[in-house]
Amino acid sequence: MPSDDLSALLTSEKAFFADAFAAKDCLTDEQKALFRQETITQRRQRLSQELYAKMDGRVAYGPFTGLELDPMPGWGTSDLFSMLLGCYELEIVDALHDPKFLGRSHFVDIGAADGYYAVGCLRNGRFKTADCFELTEVGRETIARNAERNGNAEQIRIFGVADTTLPSQLETIDWSDTVVLCDIEGGELDLLDEAFLSALKGAMILIEFHNWVENFWPRYSALLERASRDYDLRLLERSAFPNYDLPELRGMPDDNRMLILSVGRPNVMRFLQLVSSSQTPCAEGQHTSERSLQNPYRRREP
């Protein structure tokens, strides 16, 4: 090999290993012992806090780039790292930014947790206003803090538990101008009854199903049957893991990189999109295609 080629190779290889060398130099004996002894849950929480400090609490990639996250989330303590890297629940992120529905300006988040989607979509201009329903007080407080730190507190309303009175609480909402996300840990199977779905007719509804609840299959199949009467049903494709060769992850052990990109679910989740049968979403989004916010991680498994 010519000396010039060897010199260039050595330079590039030094750059390749730089993060690994830096990580090794900073690794203490205490950290090594912790790495061997901690549980997966403990490590997820530790890595979340470490990455939060390293990234100054700001999302680095994807449509929510620049979003500031609260350091003490009420719900997603172990999910901070995947949120900071913009790879949390990519199926939902993709659907919320689907060009066909960018003309809709209002967002209703049922089971809003810490407000990641609502505040993120207000900050990047995807929606103009949002209504959040969150069961826990600590979650509602976190949503308020996240909205305040990102400058959109005036655009968001925060409610308590979502029940069958939700449509009447939002009686002034134009559902044809609204995207609804429902993620309530199995409660979706009861909440989305025939009357509720009828009241929200016109909305585009995204649902995350939780298959570990009791009597899931008969309840799930019944929900699909009643939803199919007024809505077209679309199962969202599973999003592949993003490329883990990100600057923030280089130098980390393989186990840590995979944990950081994980959302800690017991199995592959099912996401469903409902669109009123009478609507034509392709036409709906034609005049807003230029506003499309592309997710750089949108890669599909074969």
Helix (H), strand (E) at residue 49:
helix 40-54
Picking from 229, 253, 28, 68, the residue whose alpha carbon sits closest to that of residue 149 is 68
**Does the predicted model carry a pTM greater than 0.85?**
no
Q: Which residue has the higher pLDDT, 95 or 79?
A: 95
30 pLDDT band, cuts 50/70/90, is low
Is the separation of the CB atoms in 133 and 159 below 8 Å?
yes
Strands 156-159 vs 231-235: parallel, antiparallel or unpaired:
unpaired
Averaged pLDDT for residues 252-257: 81
Summarize pLDDT for 70-81 with one digit per residue, the tens. 988 877 677 888
Looking at residue 242, its pLDDT comes to 61
Distance from the Cα of residue 267 to its chain's centroid: 17
Looking at residue 297, its pLDDT comes to 33
142 φ/ψ sector (left φ>0, alpha ψ -120 to 50, else beta): alpha
The phi and psi torsions of 61 (rounded to 5 degrees) equal: -140, 165
Looking at residue 38, its pLDDT comes to 76
Q: Give the bridge partners for 109, in sequence order.
A: 132, 181
Looking at residue 139, its pLDDT comes to 94
Whether residue 238 has pLDDT greater than 90? no
- Cα 72 from Cα 76, distance rounded (Å): 9
Helical residues (DSSP H) of 56-192, grouped into ranges: 80-84, 90-96, 116-123, 137-149, 166-169, 188-191
Looking at residue 279, its pLDDT comes to 63
Averaged pLDDT for residues 258-263: 78
**What are the DSSP calls for 132-144, one per residue?**
EE-S-HHHHHHHH
- Cα 135 from Cα 163, distance rounded (Å): 10
295 pLDDT band, cuts 50/70/90, is very low
